[in-house]
Amino acid sequence: MPLSESERYPLMTDAGRSLLRDLHEHPSAPLFNHHVGDRMDQESLQRARDFQNEVFERPPQWRDRQPPEWLQPFVNYCERETPFYRRRAVNHGTFTDIPTTCRADFGQAPWMFVPDDQPVDDLILYNTSGTTGHPIDILSRPIVSTMVVPLLRAALRTRGVELNGGAGRVAVAQICFQKRTFTFAALSSILGEAGNLKLNLNPLDWRDPDDRIRYLDEWAPEILTGDPISFYELTKLPLRRQPKALISTSMTLLPGLQKTLEDRFGCPALDLYSMNETGPIAVRLPGEDQRYQLLQPRLYVEILDNDGNPCEAGERGEITVTGGFNPLLPLLRYRTGDYGTLAYYEDAKTPFLSNVEGRPATVFRGASGQHINNIDVTQVMRRYPIARFALHQSSDGSLQLRVSDNGTPDEELLIALRALFGVEQVITISLVDIYEGKLVQYTTDLG
Amino acid sequence: MDEQGPQLETLTRWLTECPGDFLAAPRIGSAGVIHVDAVVADLMRDLGGSTDKSMAAPFQAAPNPRGDVAKAQSNWMSVVLIACWVLHHPWFLAANRFSPLAYGLLANGLQETARVVAATKFISAPDRREELVRLCLAQLGLRPEGETVAQAEDRLTTLSSIGRQKVIQAARKAEQRAQAIREAMKKAAAEEAAAKYTRE
């Protein structure tokens, strides 16, 4: 059910309405296929601004093995109000005795993580892309989407960039390069009713492929967000206007591409370590040692070994987080599935991550040589009730799909994948060993 | 429960032998036949205590209360009558000292239980028989012969109808909440979400 304009934008002004109309009616506008607003009313906006002040004024700090003061009250809250944690009786012994949680826990029953004291009348649902596992529903609120903006701003400040926003201009454009995805033009209340666009560089989304250039040059977004694959595609367009910064999420932005992007666009390209469950966690800083600065004032980060024991500072292990800013998904020792190390600056109270091994981007090659984003593969595979799968492309271009036994006929999977890769694509299908550990989902031998 | 009492089985068997008179409808207003206040007064005397008029007051129900109130009150009074039978066991009479504690149980200790269990169950159902016997013993500071304090407490907790009812209510409430969230998820899935700024 579409929302009304006043539901999408409770605070909309004439200037905002006019910008939104211009964004939609521009002669080079894409074929937007979705309408969506930030749904921020005055109270929500104030809360988001309060959060912004906290982000700017109270960067995350704690000493090694001395959790911050807010942590114990948060644990108490989780156990008191959240059915999943209450059932586990988490609050006995020390913090490190609390059982860890993982993606599968809320994949099964996400409602068990919603605290009893949280209303659900404005609940919204995001289905994760599932690039590291099976897609799951994330329960959220409109304000949570807006609260990402202060974290983006904090990330940009590490490179001296201010995201200003303001009426009549576009502040953020999210750049995608996918076969199919939602695209929209929206307004951002926290950015002074500036525009917030989501665009797909796939030429089929535009009346004329050159409209991609004309539209971006016309509206000159302050910053562009995207992933390494979409930014790589963007380098092929002869854009005249340069953004203040690029922010890459979703997959690790490898330093080689980062430099290419910075040279091409003449601005910083930031690698943001972020996930649906948590929002932005950290941003990679310039420098050889690849440090990531933590962003959230109330997200406690631990590094755990394979047995769930805390690692020493500087020792590599699984990144595990507690806290977060989504009130419908309080996280208690959530194992992210990503690996890295946590160490401290000379002040011994400012932690930073390094050697973060997120989700590497994988570009496959189709039967006629076309590039295929791994997200598009995920979108094909998510239609089937497959617990897990892995796709590998050999140097001869053939694909090997390994799936958990789920009853989906191989023929059906072959048809679906060939619709994406081309009818000539060579594909073999085999079963995943049930005892095999975590799968690396997408791999390729092609350069 | 510091003191050891009689064997549990002695009392549960005694309870199965509860005379039919104790199960007759308690007198409330002009309805019913058994005067509960009189039965309690007799028990107090048999347990070696004394009685005065004010002690009868809790067992003299107001006539013509609302229908649901009348039902609850009648059930509680029936439970009191059955507890009187338990406490009339020769072991308690021989001790000749339990009158004050027994009165406390009868006047104030059975209302919650009576709200969730029909009186007749305390005779017909084995677990409820054991629960009532253990409730009576606990109120008198006794534990069944051969049990430790921890064992007696643990068993009473396990059997507790009130505790069980609370668990059932909590589970029901949790399921209602989960259902409400699942409904909200369905609605949200059919609705548009909110504009995001990045993809994760």
Residue B189: the pLDDT is 87
For residue B172, give how far its alpha carbon lies from the nearest alpha carbon of chain A (Å): 13
Of A125-139, A343-357, B20-34, B155-169, the poorest mean pLDDT is in A125-139
Residue A432: the pLDDT is 76
Contact A174 B181 (CB under 8 A): no
Region A201-215: mean pLDDT is 96
Quote the CA–CA distance of A332 and A336 in Å, as a whole number. 11
Q: What distance, in Å, lies between the first and last C-alpha atoms of chain B?
A: 60
Contact B195 A110 (CB under 8 A): no
Task: Tell me which of B176, B179, B186, B198 to substitute to probe the interface with A (most A C-beta atoms closer than 10 Å).
Answer: B198
Contact A83 B174 (CB under 8 A): yes
Q: Tell me the domains of chain A and their CATH numbers.
A: 1-358 (3.40.50.12780), 363-444 (3.30.300.30)
Region B32-42: mean pLDDT is 92
For A374-443, where are the alpha helices, taking DSSP H only? 374-381, 410-421
CA distances from B154 to B40, B49, B55, B157 (A): 30, 31, 33, 5
Kindly report the backbone phi and psi dihedral angles of residue B196, in degrees, each rounded to the nearest multiple of 5, phi listed first. -100, 165
Residue A429: the pLDDT is 94
Residues from chain B contacting residue A37 (CB–CB below 8 Å): 194-195
The pTM of this model reads 0.72
Residues from chain A contacting residue B191 (CB–CB below 8 Å): 1, 3, 124
- Whether the per-residue pLDDT at A360 is higher than 60: the answer is no
- For tokens 């994949």, the residue is A107
Residue B149: the pLDDT is 86
Which of the pair, B179 or B52, is modelled with greater confidence? B179
* Domain coordinates in residue numbering, chain B: 3-159
Task: Tell me which of A126, A271, A273, A274 to substitute to probe the interface with B (most B C-beta atoms closer than 10 Å).
Answer: A126
Which tokens in the block code for residue A76?
């108490």
> Nearest CB to B185: which of A139, A174, A225?
A139
Residues from chain A contacting residue B175 (CB–CB below 8 Å): none
Distance from the Cα of residue A368 to its chain's centroid? 30
Q: Which of A222, A217, A219 is nearest to A164 (CA)?
A: A222
CA distances from B56 to A170, A374, B103 (A): 82, 81, 10
- For tokens 């006929």, the residue is A409
Q: pLDDT tens, A402-439? A: 987 666 789 999 999 999 999 999 999 998 765 454 46
Q: Which of A344, A353, A345 is nearest to A321 (CA)?
A: A353
Q: Largest alpha-carbon pair distance within chain A?
A: 63
Residue A395: the pLDDT is 94
- Whether the per-residue pLDDT at A142 is higher than 90: the answer is yes
pLDDT level of residue B66 (50, 70, 90 thresholds): low
Residue A413: the pLDDT is 93
Residue B63: the pLDDT is 60
Indicate if ipTM > 0.85: no
CA distances from A100 to A78, A319, A418 (A): 13, 11, 40
For residue B193, give how far its alpha carbon lies from the nearest alpha carbon of chain A (Å): 5
The partner residues of A137 in beta bridges, in order of sequence, read: A127
> Nearest CB to A184: which of B191, B195, B200?
B195
Q: pLDDT tens, A43-72? A: 999 999 999 999 999 999 999 989 999 999
pLDDT level of residue A134 (50, 70, 90 thresholds): low
Region B69-88: mean pLDDT is 90
Quote the CA–CA distance of A283 and A226 in Å, as a whole number. 14
Give the A:B interface size as CB pairs under 8 Å.
106
Quote the CA–CA distance of A328 and A110 in Å, as a whole number. 9
> Nearest CB to B198: which of A39, A125, A247?
A247
pLDDT level of residue A131 (50, 70, 90 thresholds): very low
Among chain B residues, CA nearest to A197: B197
Quote the CA–CA distance of B168 and A387 in Å, as a whole number. 34
Region A7-33: mean pLDDT is 97
B195 touches chain A (CB under 8 A): yes
Contact B200 A279 (CB under 8 A): yes
The radius of gyration of chain B from alpha carbons, rounded to an integer in Å, stands at 23
* Interface subset of B 118-177, CB within 8 angstroms of A: 174, 177
Region A226-254: mean pLDDT is 89
Quote the CA–CA distance of A198 and B198 in Å, as a whole number. 9
Which of the pair, A254 or B19, is modelled with greater confidence? B19
Residue A435: the pLDDT is 44
